[in-house]
Chains A and B, each alone.
Chain A
Amino acid sequence: MIEWSEQHRMIRDAVRRFVAAEVVPNVEALEHGDMPPYDIFRKMLSTFGMDAVAKTRFEHMLARDRAREAGEAQPDRESEGEAGDRSDSAAMQLIPIIELCRYCPGMVTAVGVSMGLTSAAILSKGTLEQKQRWGLDLMTLKKIGAWAITEAGSGSDAFGGMKSTARPTEDGGYLLNGSKTFITNGPYADIIVFICKLDEEGVAARDRKIVTFVLEKGMPGLTQSKPMRKMGLHSSPTGELFLQDVKVGPDRLLGGKEDSRARSGAKDTFSLERSGVAAMALGIVERCLELSVRYAKERVQFGRPIGEFQLIQDKLARMEVARMNIQNLVFRTIEAAGQGRRLSLAEASAMKLYSARVATEVALEAVQVYGGNGYMSEYPVEQLARDAKALQIYAGTDEIQISAIARDLMAR
């Protein structure tokens, strides 16, 4: 794949029209007002029939699981269907991300965590019963999801310093305690995937098993904070979660067993999250480039459009190179999906590292092209520059991506 296909462009144009009509007029309210991002996205899902597509996908997934439980042989998900259909379906998920990120990366963050991360966590590791209970509501954004691993004392070293615990109770249930921070959708989440350590007698804290629970809003002992103030992504509500003796039954233990797969479950989730970031970066870079080129032609200093100065041309040319590179990474993701190949963690890390860095660089250079105007909130590059920075921090910091890539290289 070296170019978007005609269908892809049609999808892009349709989504772009929706974004212009529904998102752009609300960016101010989303970023600086009290408008949560979910309703607009729900409207987008129903407008384009994406909810129906998700429902069909969900039903196929369940049917396959049921057949597997009944002992029938089932092809795995990746190798099913026509290659073209599989890559188109990947493109259909990525194009709206790209288009929305031109205006509102915050909305994509919030919705991506809910429909992507949280639902994937449950659908990949949950029992059939758990998938039925929460899966579809998350995939269609009927319910808002949050995925909670980070704590005040444990970020990059998510498992090492983790203090949240699950203590088994006599009746086969658990008592959950601890607090989580920087949790996307934390303030509004209906369904929370909560990752913690099994508190077993005689096992040292560092060696404890990782267990995951699915919680719901309003459970006694669970407090969801108000949105935290932050540098960017204002359309994405981020908050803290406090758990004090939250009592849960074994039905909420993800996967139904206390085994060590939870660690790898969390890692699969990282991989998914990381390839989505490239699409987000592409949206940011595309828009920054368009805006910068336009401004460079219009803004006159020393009697000439600033685009005639070589130092400005250098910035524009670098932005174009970045756009081409990130677009190629997105094409690669789509191609890989077409071939039923999942990107390895190291590969996804490399994509994420590059895209996030370059998006931040491009957005800051766009501010530079705009000069004083670029620093003013009235111009959109100011928001995009603040938003882009988050891509280097969440879903694993740049430094953590680098160590994942290096670890893979050294193991060869």
Chain B
Amino acid sequence: MKIIVCLKQVPHQDARLDIRSDGAWIQEEGIKFEINTYDTYALEEALRIKDAAEAEVVVVSIGPDRVTQALRTALGMGADRAIHVKDPEAEASDAIGLAKILAAIVKAESPDLVIMGMMSDDGNFAAIAPMLAGLTDMPHTTAAVKVERSNGTLRIDREIEGGAREVVELRSPCVIAVQTGINQVRYASLKGIMAAKKKPFDVKSIADLGLGGQVGAAAVKVRIEKISPPVKGERAEILEGSTQEIADRLVGKIKELGLL
């Protein structure tokens, strides 16, 4: 059994975010990065399948040099092999471009399962998993909160409106995009981290994948024009009364805003 886990490196949750001078993205120099939260759950899910059965876990990431660290961390946690797509053209791609790159790798590897995070902490597009499934003609599901396997079939609980669950069955090979919080993500062990140095680590360019001209800046269909920090509001409301009353009102407000 072979499982591909796609993961993205995103700015660390404690990183200070400043907007780049062209206004279209954040300043990436000098900040810390980490593996996208959603993807850590995807990786853990894959490693659990590996723990329970024989499986090879291949981690794939697209991005500049710094992405090496994310992939090595994944290897340290127990993944067997890494593929790093490192190419300025790859980085300049939009969601469909990235999905095409991943699709090329998935076609070449023909895994039994692709697991990935439902979306990224930074971009929040939630687009790549369905696109990848479309491009590779595989069944897929999103917002997975539970993954169960029995010979060739996967039973997946998905989270839907109001916390309800929908159960779907997918035939392998398929693409599963997971929700956060579905498992407890393991730590890389010290031995694992030292062993990660020696695990296979492939670096590929767009040309290596036969995608020259099909992805990258020239092929972009969606471009980010401008990002802006949230405006500081002055609408704070102070709730008063006994602790019980404050708590009741707070719950009322949260419900009113449809957050619960």
| B166-214 residues at the A interface, CB under 8 angstroms | 187-194, 196-197
Binary interface encoding of chain A residues 1-30 relative to chain B, with 1 for a CB under 8 A from any of its CBs, else 0 = 000001101110110011000000000000
A172 within 8 A of B: no
- The contact of B72 among A10, A50, A88, by CB within 8 Å, is A10
* A10-B190 Cα distance, complex, nearest whole Å: 9
Q: Is the CB of B191 within 8 A of A49?
A: yes
User: Is the Cβ of A53 less than 8 Å from the Cβ of B196?
Assistant: no
The 5 closest A-B pairs by CB, nearest first: A49-B189, A14-B188, A10-B193, A14-B187, A48-B190
CA distance A48 to B189 in the complex (A): 4
Question: A47 contacts the other chain (Cβ, under 8 Å)?
Answer: yes
Chain A residues contacting B193 (CB-CB under 8 Å) are 7, 10-11, 14
Instruction: Say yes or no: B187 contacts A18, CB within 8 Å.
Output: yes
Please classify the interface of chain B as helix (H, G, I), strand (E, B), loop, or mixed, using the class held by over half of its residues. Answer: helix
Interface residues of A (CB under 8 A from B): 6-7, 9-11, 13-14, 17-18, 47-50, 52-53, 88, 92
Output the least CB separation between A338 and chain B (Å).
14
- Closest Cβ of chain A: how far from B246's Cβ, in Å? 22
Please give the distance in Å from A372's CB to the nearest CB on chain B.
25
In Å, the complex CA distance between A181 and B34 comes to 47
User: With A10-B76, A14-B76 known to touch, is A49 a contact of B69 (CB < 8 Å)?
Assistant: no
Whose C-beta in chain A lies nearest to the C-beta of B189?
A49
A6 touches B191 (CB 8 A): no
Interchain CA distance A10-B32 in the complex, whole Å: 13
User: In the complex, what residues of A have CB within 8 A of residue B76's CB?
Assistant: 10, 14
Given contacts A49-B192, A88-B194, contact A10 B187 (CB under 8 A): no
Question: Could you say which residues of chain A place their CB within 8 Å of the CB of B187?
Answer: 14, 17-18, 47-48
From 17 to 72 in chain B, residues with beta carbon under 8 angstroms from any chain A beta carbon are 34, 68-69, 72
B68 and A10 contact, CB distance less than 8 A? no
Residue-wise interface mask of B (59-97) relative to A, using a CB-CB cutoff of 8 A (1 in contact, 0 not): 000000000110011001000000000000000000000
Query: In the complex, what distance in Å separates the CA atom of A52 from the CA atom of B194?
Result: 14
Residue of A10, A17, A50 near B196 (CB, 8 A) is A10
Which A residues are in CB contact (< 8 Å) with B189?
47-49
Chain A residues closer than 8 Å to B72, beta-carbon distance: 6-7, 10
| Contact among A7, A13, A50 for B197, CB-based, below 8 A | A7
The closest CB in chain A to the CB of B197 belongs to A7
| Contact call B188/A52, Cβ cutoff below 8 A | no
CA distance A52 to B187 in the complex (A): 15
- Which of B34, B68, B191, B196 interacts with A52 by CB under 8 Å? B191
Compute how far the CA of A236 lies from the CA of B189 in the bound complex, rounded to whole angstroms: 26
Closest to B73 in A: A10
Residues of B within 8 A of A14 (CB): 73, 76, 187-188, 193
Interface centre among A9, A13, A47, A88 (most CB of B within 10 A): A13
Residues of B within 8 A of A53 (CB): 190-191
In the assembled complex, the Cα of A53 lies from the Cα of B190 at a distance in Å of 9
Nearest chain A residue, comparing its CB with the CB of B186: A47
Contacts of B194 in A (CB 8 A): 7, 88
Q: How far is A6 from B188 in the complex, measured between Cα atoms in Å?
A: 14
Across the interface, name the chain A residue whose C-beta is closest to B35. Answer: A13
A49–B73 touching, CB < 8 Å: no
Q: Which residues of B contact A10 (CB under 8 A)?
A: 69, 72-73, 76, 188, 193, 196
9 interchain pairs (CB within 8 A)? A7-B197, A10-B69, A10-B72, A13-B73, A18-B187, A48-B190, A49-B189, A50-B190, A53-B191
| Of A10, A17, A52, most B-chain CB atoms within 10 Å | A10
Residue from the set B68, B69, B193 with the largest chain A CB neighbour count within 10 Å: B193
How would residues 116 to 141 of chain B score, 1 for a CB under 8 Å from any chain A CB and 0 otherwise? 00000000000000000000000000
